[in-house]
Amino acid sequence: MSLVVNPGPLKEDLLFLSCTHRARALFTNTIPDNVQLNVRRGDQKFWEYIRDHHVPDSVMAYIRVAGFGGVIDCGYRIVNHALITALVERCRPETHTFHLPFGEITVTLQDVQVLWGLSVNRHIMSGIDYVCSIEENVAKC
């Protein structure tokens, strides 16, 4: 018995980027070996600062009340470039889903809550505060 796995979507009706997306090479089995994406991050200086400067307990109390204690507790994480490359190749930006050999999946808010320990069951905060300048906000922090 042989197992046949279709790495691509079964129907491409919604996939208007299918000809130009990186996943086309994966679906047609023409992807070169060992070609990984270079993942850029914007949080490295933040984690270096946190490592070199102790966060006072009074500040950590506010971070925990805001529900972001899990992020600080997790700390800096090394990115697995092969994993990110595989997810990008299987990501469909048109439907915000990943096409994996066992089916189609999406990342939910509950997934983020469980992975980072964030609180998602309180009041919603959104929008932009135009009252203070960036400098004033930085000084407050």
Cα 75 from Cα 72, distance rounded (Å): 5
Predicted confidence at residue 107, as pLDDT, reads 84
Strands (E), 24-126: 91-92, 97-100, 103-105
**Residue 37: partners with Cβ closer than 8 Å, 6 or more residues away:** 81, 84, 85, 88
Element (H, E) at 35: none
Q: In Å, how far are 25, 61, 138 from 30, measured between CA atoms?
A: 5, 52, 49
Predicted confidence at residue 127, as pLDDT, reads 66
The low-confidence residues of the chain, meaning pLDDT below 50, are none
Count of C-beta atoms within a 10 Å radius of residue 137: 11
pTM reported for the whole predicted model: 0.46
Predicted confidence at residue 7, as pLDDT, reads 56
Cα 88 from Cα 80, distance rounded (Å): 12
Count of C-beta atoms within a 10 Å radius of residue 50: 14
- Using CB atoms within 10 A of its CB, is residue 8 exposed (0-12), middle (13-18) or buried (19+)? middle
Q: Do the beta carbons of residue 116 and residue 125 sit within 8 Å?
A: no
User: Domain extents for the chain?
Assistant: 23-121
Predicted confidence at residue 66, as pLDDT, reads 85
